[in-house]
Amino acid sequence: MSKSELQNEIVKATEELPESLVKEILDFAEFLINKQAKLSNEQIRLELDGLSQSEISHLEEEFTGYKLAYPKIND
């Protein structure tokens, strides 16, 4: 079954549910999204931890001034 077919099946399945249960489904979907993001961040952290000193130096040079060039919106 394709992703769009699965999404359609989920919509059909939720049509008969009360609003409170649909909210639970949304909460669970958001939980899964956050979980996936955390796993991605952990993988990046592991990869960065495995870099050699020369690779770290290269990255530091590559991103010098990054915070000034691209300041955070909410800072």
Q: Which residue has the tokens 């691209």?
A: 70
Residue 63 is assigned to a structural domain of this protein = yes
Query: 14: how many CB neighbours lie within 10 A of its CB?
Result: 14
> What's the domain range around 21?
10-69
24 token code pair: 């639970």
Residue 4 located in a structural domain:
no
Tell me whether residue 33 is in a domain. Answer: yes
Each residue's pLDDT tens digit in the chain (75 positions)?
999 999 999 999 999 999 999 999 999 999 999 898 888 888 888 888 888 888 888 888 888 887 788 877 655
Residue 19 domain flag: yes
Contact 22, 14 (CB under 8 A): yes
Quote the pLDDT of residue 19.
96
Residue 64 lies in a domain: yes
